[in-house]
């Protein structure tokens, strides 16, 4: 079955960068895209961006333009999200998710989440 397994928690200082990984299995990796969603403590869900595992095309939310970069490694079926110039309000759980085109691109498969804490 489809599984998305994310890397472990990170503690970073303001101004630093963080790179979170999402290893996919159980499906044809380069057929689907991967979406990243974050959730600040006690807050709702916020779309961060998307990357195609087919050709590397990406689309980022305006709030993150210039600070986020998503990449793929087809040899390890892993997707990466790097966020730079970290601020305290980037403290959040970051989820990767995969959509299903046949059901309106709804996000049917989710990783377990990675807690990123930004603190001096």
The contact set with other proteins (CB under 8 A) reads: 33, 35, 37, 44-47, 50, 59, 61, 95, 97, 99, 103-108, 110-113
The least CB distance from residue 31 to other proteins, in Å, is 14
Whether the Cβ atoms of residue 18 and residue 9 lie closer than 8 Å to each other: no
The least CB distance from residue 94 to other proteins, in Å, is 11
The least CB distance from residue 15 to other proteins, in Å, is 28
In this complex, which beta carbon is closest to other proteins, that of residue 31 or of residue 45? 45
In this complex, which beta carbon is closest to other proteins, that of residue 46 or of residue 82? 46
Kindly list the distances between the CA atom of residue 68 and the CA atoms of 4, 24, 26, 42, 59, in Å, as whole numbers in the listed order.
20, 20, 27, 23, 10
């Amino acid at each position: 079955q489809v599984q998305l397994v994310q890397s472990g928690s990170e503690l970073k200082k303001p101004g630093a960068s963080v790179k979170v990984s999402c290893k996919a299995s159980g499906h044809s990796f380069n057929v689907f895209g991967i979406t990243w969603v974050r959730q600040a403590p006690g807050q709702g869900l916020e779309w961060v961006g998307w990357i195609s595992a087919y050709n590397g095309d990406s689309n980022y939310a305006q709030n993150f333009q210039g600070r986020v970069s998503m990449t793929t490694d087809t040899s390890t079926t892993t997707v990466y999200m790097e966020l730079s110039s970290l601020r305290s309000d980037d403290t959040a759980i970051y989820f990767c998710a995969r959509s299903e085109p046949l059901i309106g691109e709804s996000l049917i498969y989710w990783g377990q989440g990675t807690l990123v804490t930004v603190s001096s």
